[in-house]
Amino acid sequence: MNEVVIAGIGQTSVGEQWDISLRELAYYALEAARLDAGGLTPQALYVSNMLAPALSHQSHLATLVADFAGLQGIEASTIEAAGASGGMALRMGYIAVASGTVDVAMVLGVEKMTDQTVSNVTAAAATTMDADYEAEHGLTLTSQAALLMKRYLHEFDVPEFAFSGFPIIAHANGATNKNAMFQRAIKLASYQRAGMVSDPMNMFDVAPNADGSAAVILTRPELLPKKFVHPLIQINGSSAVTDTLALHDRPDPIVFNAARLSVERACSQAGIIPSDVDLFELYDAFSIYGALALEAAGLSEKGKGWEWASNGDLSLEGKLPISTFGGLKARGNPGGATGVYQAVEATLQLRNQAGENQVKDAKTAMIQAFGGPSSTSVTHILSKLG
Amino acid sequence: MDIPRHWRLKKQRYALVGEVCDHCDSKVFPPRDICPDCGEEAKTLYSFSGKGEVYSYTKVFEAPAGFDENAPYTVAMVKLEEGPLVTAQLTDLDESNLEIGMPVEMVTRKLRSATDERGMLVYGYKFRPVMA
């Protein structure tokens, strides 16, 4: 297989962007990535998106994005794997370039979540679960995560507010990310005061839905000029794994098996173990997912994932920084674009361009996106080339 | 409105009809034709008793479109006595008694309000505390 590198990155700010359309959002990230890559034009475009058919009445999105960007004539397709769409599109781009079929691929995530009312967005997002046996019974993504957290608290000995560390770290890191939806740190007291969303989860245990677009350009290093405009970041591990779609179909719902397998496979391809990575962009759509991701990666024992978040180990200066630009919780969760944001942010870290958010001496990063409760899990390992 | 989609599920929604595996006797709900325990074909219909216990539960305040008028409502995963977990709403609750492990039984109720001008209502299983 060929080596695959990230030659360019682009992102828009994340949040409520009522003055910018779906196609414009995508175009801004696309142009930013092309500029960053020294004007490289992709032959293939993989657009990740989760809900445009439901929320923007727009299917066939990749062709619209290519068209609007003046790239008619290239290959383009839309990749959907719920919240893991961005990770999955990155994998499709990686496979295309690694195989030698495509020389330059662009992976572009875009999502517009804020045009519709909350109840419409909640209903649309619920279609990513089992429509007949979960969504039709009134289950939502948020209440599904709450079922997991409630059971976790029942099975394990966990102190009150044990999960507060995840949003506190995310918001601390988001404070210095100018693209983040929330740029203010929060205190434990705010977490303790926050209203319940779906007990035992409060407002700070749930990442906000947002608009946003991010893009990366992938190619083979030998196709680039010797002295390129910035350091090249290599994708040296890539894995996508499915579990049962419905949470109730698993023998033990609080074990994220697809997450475990995708970490094992991506790390094995990269020739590392999870504890080797210098940062972990995990999928903190809900704080319980953060704990379960750490457990699935083998970084923590079952029932102990929350401990990591309570002792500083996950902050920018800690042993294993997570959510280094705010994660889903503070940067915001732009659905199908989220996995591409993770790739952009990890690239900034590995290029040593993360500014105030820089993880010192970051050489290897793990990024992971979930569709639902790890019903799909996509994990990538990125590192500095050479 | 997707009437056939709901009509096809009438046995499951009204009578908790799943499957039993002829190879390992595992009980399967929702039906999936391939036994999750042994991987063999499992297509023999099996009626569940409707009895079980609460595995986990939570209250939904931000309801999806179609469920707004019932909010807040309680959703749960229920462990059926035959083995499988099922997702459903809890109803007829005295919330002071609600806890993981509470015995429950299936009842038939309206799942959601009409989603269009044709006014189709969707009925199906919910679970209520077992009457003493």
> Is A26 in the B-facing interface, judged by CB distances under 8 Å?
no
Judging contacts by C-beta atoms under 8 Å, the chain A residues touching residue B36 are 249, 251
CATH topology of domain A5-116+210-223: Peroxisomal Thiolase; Chain A, domain 1 (3.40.47)
Determine the Cα–Cα distance for residues A72 and A68; give it in Å rounded to an integer: 8
Q: What is the pLDDT of residue A280?
A: 98
pTM above 0.95, yes or no: yes
Please name the residue of chain B whose CA is at the shortest distance from the CA of residue A151: B56
Q: What is the pLDDT of residue B94?
A: 86
Determine the Cα–Cα distance for residues A261 and A242; give it in Å rounded to an integer: 9
How high does pLDDT run on average in chain B?
93
Determine the Cα–Cα distance for residues A145 and A150; give it in Å rounded to an integer: 9
Identity of the residue in B5, B32, B63 whose CB atom sits nearest the CB atom of A138: B63
Domain ranges of chain B: 3-129
> Is A156 in the B-facing interface, judged by CB distances under 8 Å?
no
**Model confidence at B116: pLDDT above 80:** no
Contact criterion met (CB < 8 Å) for A147 and B75:
yes
Q: Give the distance from residue B120's alpha carbon to the nearest chain A alpha carbon, in angstroms.
A: 14
Domain ranges of chain A: 5-116+210-223, 137-207+237-384
Chain segment A273-294, per-residue pLDDT in tens: 999 999 999 999 999 999 999 9
Determine the Cα–Cα distance for residues A273 and A275; give it in Å rounded to an integer: 6
Average confidence (pLDDT) over A200-224: 97
Contact criterion met (CB < 8 Å) for B87 and A123:
no
ipTM for the predicted complex: 0.97
Q: Do domains A5-116+210-223 and A137-207+237-384 have the same CATH topology?
A: yes
**Model confidence at A243: pLDDT above 90:** yes
Burial class (CB in 10 A: 0-12, 13-18, 19+), A38: middle
Q: B3-129: what CATH class?
A: mainly beta
Q: Do A235 and A381 contact (CB within 8 A), yes or no? A: yes
Chain segment B57-110, per-residue pLDDT in tens: 999 999 999 998 889 999 999 999 999 999 999 999 988 889 999 999 999 999
**Model confidence at B1: pLDDT above 80:** no
Chain segment A358-379, per-residue pLDDT in tens: 999 999 999 999 999 999 999 9
> Is B9 in the A-facing interface, judged by CB distances under 8 Å?
yes
Q: A137-207+237-384: what CATH class?
A: alpha beta
3-class state of residue A127 by DSSP: coil
